[in-house]
Structures are given as C-alpha cells and as structure tokens.
C-alpha cells in the first residue's frame, strides 16, 4: 500500500516504553505518530545537546582561565556585559613569550586525538554537512567525545577558532545516535542529525531560532532543507533552555540602544560590499593554508601543533615588536575573540592610530584562524568570522566619519559593528537568513533588520562563488540525499538502456578463480558476467571469489562459484526499477539482459551510471 493511503495508525493497546517505541518505529509517517516521533527525537536531542553545550562551554572557560590566565597571566576580555572589569584585558610581559609553546602543546595533543578519528580535524561544520549529503546521516560514536576534547585543547590554549563548528559536529553525533534506537530511515536519520546541529549551536550561542534555521540553510548554497526546520526548533529551544538555566538567558553580546535612518542605507550597502570582498580573502586564505598543510610532509598528528605554533609566533611578534594600544593586535587574535567585539560595541570613534590597529586586527584574525583551523586544529570558523565582521563594520563607519564627519555619527558605531557581523559571515557561509536571525538573537538588535538585509545580500553577491563550507551543494536537486526522491518520476520514464555501459567484463566458466579475481580488480564494476557460447550463464562478485580458499583459487574454475540465479534487469525495464532492485538486493550494479532473451547480455547499469545520466544535458530529453 502506498504511503499516505492508509489512515494514521492508533497507538497499540498495550502500555510501556517498549510499546511506544515500537509504535513510533512503524513505517507510516502520517498523523499524530509523526508529531510524537519528532517531539520525542527533538526533546531527546535537545536535552542531551543542552547538557553537552554546558559542559563544553565550562570546559573551554576553565581551560582558558587556568592555562592562559593562571599560567601565562593573559586575561582576555569577555562578552555579555557592558563596560566594567570583564570588559578589559591585561597581559604579563614576563610570561607572554610562553604562549606559542602552550598553543603548540595544545595543538599536538589535539592532533593525537584526531589521529583516532580523522573526521574530527578542522572546523566540524563541513563534516556534519558531508554526513548529511553523503554519509547517510551516520556519525561514528567516537567522534563527539574526541571533537569535544580536541576543541577544548585547541581553543583553550589560545588557538584562533570558534565554538560553532565543534558544537555542530558534536550535535550531529547526538542526533545520529538518538535516531538509531528508533530504527529511523536514512532520510529521517539525516533530519535528526541536523536537529542536533541546530540544538548545539542554538544553545551555546543563545540563538535558538537562528540556529534552527541555520541547520536547514547551511546545507546548501542556495536552498533550504524544510524538513529540518520544525524538529530542529524543538531541539534548539530545549537545548537553549537548559543552557540558559546554567549560563544565563541574556544575549551573547550586551549592546547599547541602536537605530538607523534611511539616508544611511548607502553606507550599509558599502559595508556589505567591503564585507563581501574581505570574506573572499578569508575563504582564499583559509583554503590555501589548508592545502599547504595537507601537501606538506609534516605528519598528520603534528600539523595542528605546527599551525598554532606559527600563529603563536605571530602573536608574539605583534606583542613585543609592534608598538600598540594595550597590545590590541596580539590579544585580539587569541581564542575566539568575542571580548573584542564587546569592546567595539561600546566604543566611540577612535584616533587614527588605534583605528589602524583595529583594521590590522582583521588581517591578524584571518591569518591566525587559517593557521589554527587550516592546519587541522579543531575549532570553528563562525566565531572568528563574527569578530572579523564586527571589526569590518566598526572600521567602515569610522573611516566614513573621518572623511565625511556629517555623514556618520558616533551613535552609528554599534549598528555598523553588528551589521558587519551579519554581512561578513552571511556572505561566505551562504546562509544569509539564518545569519541575520542569529546575530539579532546574539545582540538583541532586531531594529537593524532592514539595513542588515541591504548589507548582507550585497555581501552575499559580492562574495559570489566563494564560500567557507566546501561540502555545501547548490540545492536539493544536487544533493545525493535527494537523488531518488526528486528523480523518481523521471527515472520511471527512462529506459535502462539510456544509462547502461555495454563494455562489460565477461569471462568463461572455465576461467580460474584466481584469474577471475584479477579481472574483477581491473574492471570498473563490482561484477563479472559469465558467458558461455555467447549466452549469459551467471555472474561472479567479489564475495564469491573470497569464498574460495586462496590455495584453491589457481585450479578451481569460475563454473564452481558462479551464481546462476542472480539479480538482473531486462532492457525493457526503467531506471527506477533498476535502483529499486539494487536497493532490494543490496548491490550497486546489475547486469542488463535483452528484453526478449534473458541469456543475451546487453550491458551493465550502476548507481553511478544512473547519477551520471541524470546530470548530463541529454537526460532532459
């Protein structure tokens, strides 16, 4: 019976958790059961993600305070409060020189952990996106705890990176794990995994609505995943409520009252253009740094240590060699850097020298983040992008005020700083809507929505094809997660013959098993056709060959192992039938036979050949 044809099933009469779970696992997706299922998953994921976010936040705070603060005497500014003691920063000149050593130690320790799970390397958001599109929504059990520890070691020792990438990957693991006991389908597991992404980010950034939308928007360059939004909102609200109960419900950044006037819209457009151009620089610098480390001869487990050692050397040089206001360039590049954003939000216009230092911080943060994360260190790219964007916005309005004092006023600084965050990250994340909402939630500045839209969409188009997350695909049509879904009707109308390869490796029944193994190794396909007298008599796959003991393969023949009853499809069949048969048999390739003679071999069809056919221009005919 087709899906949706039957009425929504009633819960079973028997009681107990086992009965409820069995009811939730039924394949029908309609009615109240669907609501119960997603509520159960959203609440479960939200609770776990909220508690993990608290633990992650506290671990980062403790490691930073004890190592950077207690050991080196570096007191970084914090966010979330107006001017006061947490708002300033201080250093110990006699111990600051130890910073590169501490950072390198944290990087090497993180690199050792990454060795046990290579997907922990880097910022984490790409890995979550990849798991959705290409990994069937599955995350290995070891990934979240290793990501947790590696990120604490990287960021807590001074590495320039953010919290969102680690929380996204940790959250994706939580969602994937929660889906398994309920026996969800692959597509449902993908949705549950992205619920975890939204829940993790929504909690630790205190932006539940924006994060829920981000988990849907960040998957694509120009599309959304609508099925993710509602369950992600449930999970994100729950996780945010738990996190806020421990860490407070105030926005991430305290800011004075802000406003804008229509005559300033050209300035916001200018800000968007500058943010987009600098976003391109951020993307290029990051990926070229990553490519450099990947192509180097440095062992994989040492690369994160090498990257942060160079970044630490940069901070050291800026601290001791460059005369500056309170060591702004060095301190501003350490860690996430949210305290610098908080400082800018309450600043008036600065003198030219300090303003030039602030502009320099843009490039310091880009380089330090690229070295930290591009070398393989475990930290996110969102946090540094928020800092860079805030500095860009502050700098643009400050220079406009210096050049045209009547155009910009001191009260504009906060508005431009906030919108700079949106424009910069939105342009390179290709998630402009979610970015607007997240920054509004993080700053409590909903009055800036209109100028933010101007700046962020100009930045989006200026950045063009450059984007931070390499695993993003153009839209749902381009996602492997939706290949069958979107092309089902199309495939039903396309004969198998449109996508087959007629060059099939064929062997005789008298061929030795050893020679068959060599032939299969040279073949681009995972199956050999067995032909005798011009007729197809069977097939051989790797499992058949491996079933023969190695000493016997030289003298045993294919005739003794060939499968005479095997899955095949006639040339009159369609591509949807071929995909369905492959799914049912658990194989990736089928031999294609004549529509009138099942012993006459026509060719072979595989999942890859079907996908290639879909992408070619003639597939539209």
What distance in Å separates the CA atoms of residue 616 and residue 446, rounded to the nearest whole number?
45
Identify the band that residue 423 occupies on the pLDDT scale cut at 50, 70 and 90.
Answer: very high
612 and 506, same structural domain? yes
Helix (H) or strand (E) holding 389: helix 382-403
Residue 21 lies in a domain: no
439 and 397, same structural domain? yes
Tell me the CATH number at 400.
Answer: 1.10.3080.10
Cα torsion through 333, 337, 343, 348, rounded to 10: 60
68 and 40, same structural domain? yes
204 and 281, same structural domain? no
Residue 343 lies in a domain: yes
Q: Which of 81-85, 456-460, 595-599 has the highest mean pLDDT?
A: 456-460
Closest CA to 335 of 74, 161, 174, 464: 161
Q: Give the structural domain span for 594.
A: 487-620
536 and 396, same structural domain? no
174 and 278, same structural domain? no
Q: Which residues contact 504 (CB under 8 A, 6 or more apart)?
A: 525, 529, 591, 601, 603, 604
Q: Where does a domain end: 434, 468, 502?
A: 468
Residue 232 lies in a domain: yes
288 and 151, same structural domain? no
Q: How many CB atoms lie within 10 A of CB 395?
A: 25
Q: Is the pLDDT of residue 10 over 50?
A: no
Contact of 243 with 335, CB cutoff 8 Å: no
Report the Cα–Cα distance between both ends of the chain, in Å, rounded. Answer: 32
pTM listed for this prediction? 0.76
Closest CA to 54 of 209, 197, 173, 206: 206
616 and 548, same structural domain? yes
Measured at the CA of 223, the angle between CA 217 and CA 227, to 5 degrees, comes to 65
Helix (H) or strand (E) holding 539: strand 535-541
Residue 393 lies in a domain: yes
Contact of 266 with 404, CB cutoff 8 Å: no
Question: What pLDDT shows up at residue 354?
Answer: 87
513 and 453, same structural domain? no
Residue 473 lies in a domain: no
* Tokens read off for 129: 């996106």
Q: What is the pLDDT of residues 329-360, one digit of tens each?
A: 999 999 999 999 999 988 877 788 889 999 99
User: Percent of the chain at pLDDT above 90?
Assistant: 60
* Structural domain total, the chain: 3
135 and 230, same structural domain? yes
* Tokens read off for 552: 């016997």
Residue 475 lies in a domain: no
Q: Where does a domain end: 222, 247, 272?
A: 247
523 and 459, same structural domain? no
Closest CA to 250 of 309, 206, 314: 206
Mean pLDDT value across the chain? 87
Residue 437 lies in a domain: yes
Q: Which of 33-47, 203-217, 343-357 has the highest mean pLDDT?
A: 203-217
3-state secondary structure of 409: coil
Question: What pLDDT shows up at residue 8?
Answer: 40
269 and 239, same structural domain? no
Residue 202 lies in a domain: yes
Tell me the CATH number at 544.
Answer: 3.10.580.10
């Amino acid at each position: 019976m087709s899906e949706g044809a039957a009425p929504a099933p009633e819960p079973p009469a028997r009681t107990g958790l086992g009965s409820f779970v069995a009811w939730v696992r039924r394949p029908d997706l309609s009615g109240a059961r669907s609501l119960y299922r997603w509520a159960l998953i959203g609440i479960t994921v939200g609770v776990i993600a909220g508690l993990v976010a608290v633990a992650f936040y506290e671990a980062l705070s403790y490691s930073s305070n004890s190592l950077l603060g207690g050991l080196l005497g570096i007191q970084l500014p914090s966010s979330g409060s107006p001017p006061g003691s947490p708002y300033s920063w201080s250093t110990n000149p006699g111990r600051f020189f130890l910073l590169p050593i501490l950072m390198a130690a944290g990087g090497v320790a993180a690199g050792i952990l990454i060795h046990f799970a290579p997907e922990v390397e880097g910022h984490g958001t790409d890995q979550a996106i990849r798991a959705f599109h290409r990994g069937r929504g599955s995350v290995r059990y070891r990934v979240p705890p290793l990501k947790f520890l590696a990120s604490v070691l990287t960021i807590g020792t001074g590495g320039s990176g953010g919290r969102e990438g680690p929380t996204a990957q940790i959250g994706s693991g939580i969602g994937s794990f929660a889906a398994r006991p309920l026996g969800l389908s692959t597509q449902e597991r993908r949705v549950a995994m992205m619920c975890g992404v939204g829940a993790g980010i929504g909690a630790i950034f205190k932006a539940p609505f924006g994060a829920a939308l981000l988990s849907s928007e960040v998957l694509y360059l120009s599309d959304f995943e609508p099925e993710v939004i509602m369950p992600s909102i449930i999970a994100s609200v729950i996780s945010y409520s738990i996190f806020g109960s421990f860490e407070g419900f105030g926005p991430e950044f305290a800011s004075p009252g802000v406003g804008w006037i229509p005559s300033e819209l050209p300035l916001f457009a200018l800000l968007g253009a500058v943010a987009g151009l600098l976003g391109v620089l951020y993307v290029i610098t990051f990926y070229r740094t990553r490519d450099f480390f990947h192509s180097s001869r440095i062992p994989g487990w040492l690369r994160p240590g090498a990257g942060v050692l160079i970044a630490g050397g940069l901070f050291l040089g800026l601290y001791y060699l460059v005369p500056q206001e309170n060591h702004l360039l060095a301190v501003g590049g350490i860690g996430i850097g949210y305290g610098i954003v908080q400082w800018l939000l309450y600043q008036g216009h600065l003198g030219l020298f300090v303003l030039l230092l602030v502009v320099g911080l843009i490039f310091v943060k880009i380089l330090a983040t690229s070295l930290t994360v591009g070398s393989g260190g475990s930290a996110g790219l969102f946090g540094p992008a928020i800092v860079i964007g805030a500095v860009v916005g502050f700098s643009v309005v400050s220079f406009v005020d210096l050049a045209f004092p009547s155009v910009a006023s001191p009260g504009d600084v906060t508005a431009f700083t906030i919108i700079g965050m949106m424009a910069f990250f939105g342009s390179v994340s290709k998630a402009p809507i979610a970015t607007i909402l997240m920054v509004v939630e993080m700053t409590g500045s909903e009055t800036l929505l209109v100028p933010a839209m101007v700046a962020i969409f100009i930045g989006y188009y200026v950045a063009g094809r450059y984007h931070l997350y390499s695993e993003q695909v153009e839209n749902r049509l381009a996602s492997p997660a939706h290949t069958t879904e979107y092309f089902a009707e199309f495939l039903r109308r396309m004969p198998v013959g449109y996508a087959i390869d007629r060059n099939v490796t064929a062997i005789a029944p008298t061929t030795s098993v050893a020679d068959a193994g060599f032939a299969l190794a040279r073949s681009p396909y995972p199956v050999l056709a067995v032909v005798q007298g011009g007729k197809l008599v069977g097939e051989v796959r790797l499992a058949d060959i491996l079933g023969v003991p190695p000493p016997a393969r030289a003298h045993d023949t294919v005739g003794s192992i060939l499968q005479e009853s095997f899955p095949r499809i006639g040339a009159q069949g369609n591509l949807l039938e071929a995909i369905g048969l492959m799914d049912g048999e658990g194989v990736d390739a089928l031999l294609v036979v004549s529509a009138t003679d099942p012993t006459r071999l026509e060719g072979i069809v595989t999942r890859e050949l079907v996908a290639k056919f879909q992408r070619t221009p003639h597939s539209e005919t």
